[in-house]
């Protein structure tokens, strides 16, 4: 249909005319149509963000200056939160990359009966709220949770006391939730690899590990880079999982924003933390967009 429209000389003749005519009406009127949504976005998104930046320079007594910044940046809770946020995000992303690569590899190249159903389960996890995983983890790894109870029944004692409230539990929960974000572009990339290539490599005597390293990894790099940087961005901003696990010692930047903004109503302090957090994730986002445009990973099945 499309091909006949663009290729047949009869149909192609009249098409350019209206296009040129509408161009002649000038870009200005067409640019005007973008204004309503842009104004809405500016009013409900950019303006509040700008106010957050402004508020971070005004303390509770309406004094303008860097006092709030100095107080917040010097407080030990901020340093801890910053370190926790970066540490948890980096560890979770690495975990997602390793687990996601392995799972996608098996689903694509060592498929088993029911592999497609597994793929669908993974896809549904993408639509779930993240706190669901954290809630499930309290039942699995809590002090009275399934794993401890099972180990106790076997006479092993309770090996996971305190695990639920450690940063490791948050990392594990984030790996569970965000692995699909790495798997999806990887599965799309693997689907494009001709199976003959693997067969040829194997027939020339290459073992599975060599095939992975020399044939599959080069194909997977763009998807790994795009999926990995998106995951890093999302884990930096993750709030639901940390909130629901509720470990006292695991405070991240979003948790600090919540504590200052919605619990103690210290808006200026919350704004300072928010500005730092946004600067951090915007930098990463710029890197992500760069990778994304360079590799065309958007076509590989990523939404954002």
Partner 1 sequence: MLVWSRSGRAFVWALFALVFAPLVLAPLAILGIAAFAGDWNSVLPASWTSENIREATAGTNYDSLVVSIETALGASLIAIVVGTWAAIAARTAPRFVRRLTDAVFHLPVAVPSVVVGLGMLVAFSDGPILLNGTKWIVIAAHAVLVVTFAYSTVSAGLDRTDAAFADVAASLGASAARVLLRVRLPMLLPSITAAASLAIALSMGEVGATIMVYPAEWRTLPVSVFTLTDRGKVLLGSAVTVVLLVATLIVLLLVGLLKGRVEERKRRR
Q: What residues between 245 and 274 interact with partner 1 by CB under 8 A? A: 246, 253-254, 257-258, 261-262, 267, 270-271, 274
Contact letters for partner 1, residues 19-58 (x by CB under 8 A)? x--x----x--xx-xx-xxx-xxx-xxxxxx-xx--x---
Distance of CA 255 to the CA centre of its chain: 17
Tell me the C-alpha distance between 173 and 88, whole Å: 11
In the complex, minimum distance from the CB of residue 75 to partner 1, in angstroms, rounded to a whole number: 18
Stretch that binds partner 1, among 59-67, 107-115, 161-169, 217-225 (CB under 8 A): 107-115
- Among 266, 268, 242, 267, smallest CA distance to 253 is for 242
Q: Which helix (H) or strand (E) holds 278?
A: helix 267-295
Per CB under 8 A, the list member of 63, 77, 128, 156 interacting with partner 1 is: 128
Q: Considering the rule CB under 8 A, would residue 61 count as an interface residue with partner 1?
A: no
In the complex, minimum distance from the CB of residue 113 to partner 1, in angstroms, rounded to a whole number: 10
Q: Considering the rule CB under 8 A, would residue 281 count as an interface residue with partner 1?
A: yes
Q: Considering the rule CB under 8 A, would residue 10 count as an interface residue with partner 1?
A: no
Q: Which helix (H) or strand (E) holds 201?
A: helix 195-203
Neighbours of 53 (CB within 10 A): 14
Tokens of 190: 């693997």
Stretch that binds partner 1, among 3-11, 66-74, 75-83, 86-94 (CB under 8 A): 3-11
Q: Considering the rule CB under 8 A, would residue 200 count as an interface residue with partner 1?
A: no
DSSP letter string, 94-162: HHHHHHHHHHHHHHHHS--TTHHHHHHHHHHHHHS-THHHHHHHHHHHSTTSHHHHHHHHTT---TTTT
Per CB under 8 A, the list member of 92, 176, 229, 295 interacting with partner 1 is: 176
Residue among 100 and 222 whose Cβ is closer to partner 1: 100
Q: Considering the rule CB under 8 A, would residue 78 count as an interface residue with partner 1?
A: no
Distance of CA 180 to the CA centre of its chain: 10
Site for partner 1 in 283-302 (CB under 8 A): 284-285, 289, 298
Q: Considering the rule CB under 8 A, would residue 210 count as an interface residue with partner 1?
A: no
């Amino acid at each position: 249909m499309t091909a006949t429209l663009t290729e047949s000389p009869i149909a192609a003749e009249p098409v350019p005319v209206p296009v040129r005519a509408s161009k002649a009406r000038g870009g200005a009127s067409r640019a005007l149509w973008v204004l309503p949504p842009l104004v809405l976005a500016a009013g409900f998104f950019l303006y509040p963000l700008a106010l957050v930046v402004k508020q971070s320079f005004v303390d509770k007594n309406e004094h303008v200056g860097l006092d709030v910044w100095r107080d917040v940046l010097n407080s030990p809770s901020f340093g801890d939160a910053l370190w926790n946020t970066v540490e948890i995000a980096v560890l979770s992303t690495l975990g997602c990359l390793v687990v996601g690569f392995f799972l996608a590899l098996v689903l694509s190249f060592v498929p088993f009966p029911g592999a497609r159903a597994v793929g669908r389960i993974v896809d549904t996890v993408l639509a779930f709220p993240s706190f669901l995983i954290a809630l499930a983890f309290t039942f699995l790894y809590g002090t009275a949770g399934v794993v401890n109870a099972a180990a106790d029944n076997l006479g092993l004692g309770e090996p996971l006391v305190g695990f639920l409230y450690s940063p490791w539990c948050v990392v594990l929960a984030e790996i569970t939730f965000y692995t699909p974000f790495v798997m999806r572009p990887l599965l799309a990339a693997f689907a494009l690899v001709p199976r003959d290539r693997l067969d040829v490599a194997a027939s020339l005597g290459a073992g599975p590990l060599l095939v992975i390293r020399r044939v599959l990894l080069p194909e997977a790099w763009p998807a790994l880079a795009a999926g990995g940087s998106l995951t890093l961005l999302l884990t930096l901003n993750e709030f639901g999982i940390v909130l629901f696990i509720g470990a006292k010692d695991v405070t991240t930047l979003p948790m600090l924003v919540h504590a200052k903004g919605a619990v103690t109503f210290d808006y200026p302090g919350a704004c300072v933390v928010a500005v730092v957090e946004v600067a951090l994730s915007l930098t990463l986002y710029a890197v992500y967009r760069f990778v994304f445009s360079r590799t065309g990973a958007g076509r590989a099945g990523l939404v954002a």
